Amino acid sequence: MRYFYSADAIRDAEAPVLASLPDGALMRRAAFGLATAIARELGAVAGRTVCAVVGSGDNGGDALWAATFLRRRGAGASAVLLDPERAHRKALAAFRRAGGRIVEMVPHTTDLVIDGVVGISGSGPLRPGAAAVFDEVARAGIPVVAVDLPSGVDVHTGVADGPHVAPALTVTFGGLKPVHALGDCGRVELVDIGLGLGHSDMLAFDAADVAARWPVPGPTDDKYTQGVTGVMAGSSTYPGAAILCTGAAVAATSGMVRFAGTAAAEVVSHWPEVIATLGHATAGRVQAWAVGPGLGTDETAAAALVFALETDLPVIVDADGLTILSAHPELVADRTAPTVLTPHAGEFARLAGAPPGDDRVAATRRLADRLGVTVLLKGNVTVVAEPGGPVRLNAAGNSWAATAGSGDVLSGVIGALLAAGLPPGEAAAAAAFVHARAADLSARDPGPAAAPTSASRILAHLRPALASIL
């Protein structure tokens, strides 16, 4: 499990550690970890060259101390001081004593640049002087390691609304911040500096967390005890949505899937293990419903959604179901059973009355609290918010899942996990994790080079994705 902490939480955790250590000791501890990560990035230190781009305050001090440690190990070291009068005095003195050079611009022979411009207290884009420096660095193709976070990227939202650093690696200290999931940070390494942080209400699943929660049949399980997933999706116009959603539910668990809808024949022709009927009235008993993909928005579709939401079963609503729900939010107003909504940005705007904006986490939290349901906001970074509860993030690392029908697959997986008894937030987050991995595998099959994929290929790679986790 990875936890993410606000800048204030990090500062509060630092305060007692700073008070217990000699002056500057915590900075040198962090900088030593930074220098170690940079050494790994360089591959060898002696004979290589680094340049620190240094702002005022502690972030610049971290960069100068790291350059100092690398200089002592045989690297050439230079520094660009963006504000010489406010550079960290002790770190700068140590840098000079070690033989570091002060330069006006990053030398083109530099092997690696250290971004020490601003830290977690900074805000807004890079100022013109810093932007000019990093423009030259980008043109020269020199890799950058960011200290704590990329300068010019918001620590809370990951948004860069102007010039900013795009690092190959970000090295952060004490605890991860939201930017490390939400922003363009390259690879992220966390250096433990002894802050002793506890759990936070913003987190992300790792593969082990998903494996620990995924339903695996035990020796006494049968097809009913593993959860029966009900699917109401597709229509004569969009039978593919029914096939994708139902197929994903089949792939996600070893229980049973029942389909109710006009695409019953098409579904069974693809998935003969599915029990299919033409309507919900004859669907039979299920443990959760997945409703909405390709369903349409006519009276028949609305009746199907109402039927599901009036039960005391978990329900996941997607696509056309969300369109209906945006006009009739009262359908979930008093619902006590687990309910998951999975909008993309446009559907979110219809449900919330406004787009999610830059702060996607805060916007998703507000909608979850207002409707009293779990909301999964789709995107390169998926945000899952529970009413009054935690937020789970899933950074896909790519956008291969941004293809037509991909959301139908995700809906089927969530429905299957709800039927198996997972809590809604965990079901949504675990499904998003596996869905993203399946999308990545589908784009790289049959080799390591990525190529465009499709929802059908993502569906076909759900089981390999699960196998790689379980």
Q: What pLDDT digit, counting tens, does each position of 251-295 carry?
A: 998 899 999 999 999 999 999 999 999 999 899 999 999 999 999
Q: Which residues are annotated as a binding site for K(+)?
A: 59, 115, 151
Q: Give the architecture-level CATH label for domain 207-469.
A: 3-Layer(aba) Sandwich (3.40)
CATH class of 2-200: alpha beta
- CA–CA dist 200, 6 (Å, integer): 9
Whole-angstrom distance, CA of residue 199 vs CA of residue 390: 11
Other Cβ atoms less than 10 A from the Cβ of 316: the count is 35
Q: Are 348 and 323 in contact (CB under 8 A)?
A: no
Peptide bond preceding 178: is omega within 30 degrees of 0, i.e. cis? no
Question: What residues does CATH 3.40.1190.20 cover in the chain?
Answer: 207-469
Residues contributing to the annotated binding site for (6S)-NADPHX: 58-62, 119-125, 148, 241, 294, 344, 408
Which residues belong to CATH 3.40.50.10260 in the chain?
Answer: 2-200
What confidence tens digit (pLDDT) does each residue in 358-412 have?
A: 999 999 999 999 999 999 999 999 999 999 999 999 999 888 888 999 999 999 9
- Which residues are part of a known binding site for AMP? 378-382, 407
Encode pLDDT of 129-165 as tens digits.
999 999 999 999 999 999 999 999 999 999 999 999 9
pLDDT, residue 57, reads 85
Mean pLDDT of all residues in 97-120: 97
Percent above pLDDT 90 for the chain: 95
Token look-up 């494996």 returns 211
Q: Which two tokens stand for residue 373?
A: 């349901």
pLDDT tens for each residue of 163-217: 999 999 999 999 999 999 999 999 999 999 999 899 999 999 999 999 999 999 9
Radius of gyration of the chain measured on its C-alpha atoms: 26
74 contacts 47 by C-beta, under 8 angstroms: yes
- The CB density around residue 470, as the number of other CB atoms within 10 Å, is 12
CB 365 within 8 A of CB 348: no
Burial category of 291 from C-beta neighbours within 10 Å (exposed 0-12, middle 13-18, buried 19 and up):
buried
How would you classify the pairing of strands 391-395 and 381-385?
Answer: antiparallel
Q: Is 281 exposed, middle or buried (0-12, 13-18, 19+ CB in 10 A)?
A: exposed
Q: Per-residue confidence at 315, pLDDT binned at 50, 70, 90? A: very high
pLDDT of residue 447: 84
Residue type, 185: C
Say how many Å lie between the first and final Cα of the chain, rounded.
16
Both structure tokens of 239:
């039978």
Please tell me whether residue 341 adopts helix, strand or coil conformation.
strand
Residue 21 zone, left/alpha/beta (φ > 0; ψ -120 to 50; rest): beta
- Contact between 433 and 204 under an 8 Å Cβ cutoff? The reply is no
Q: Which residues are annotated as part of the binding site? A: 58-62, 115, 119-125, 148, 151, 241, 294, 344, 378-382, 407-408
What tokens were used for 247? Answer: 């197929």
Tokens of 103: 């330069």
pTM to 2 decimals? 0.95
Q: What pLDDT was estimated at residue 289? A: 98
**For the segment 336-362, what is each residue's pLDDT rounded down to a tens digit?**
999 999 999 999 999 999 999 999 999
322 pLDDT tier (thresholds 50, 70, 90)? very high
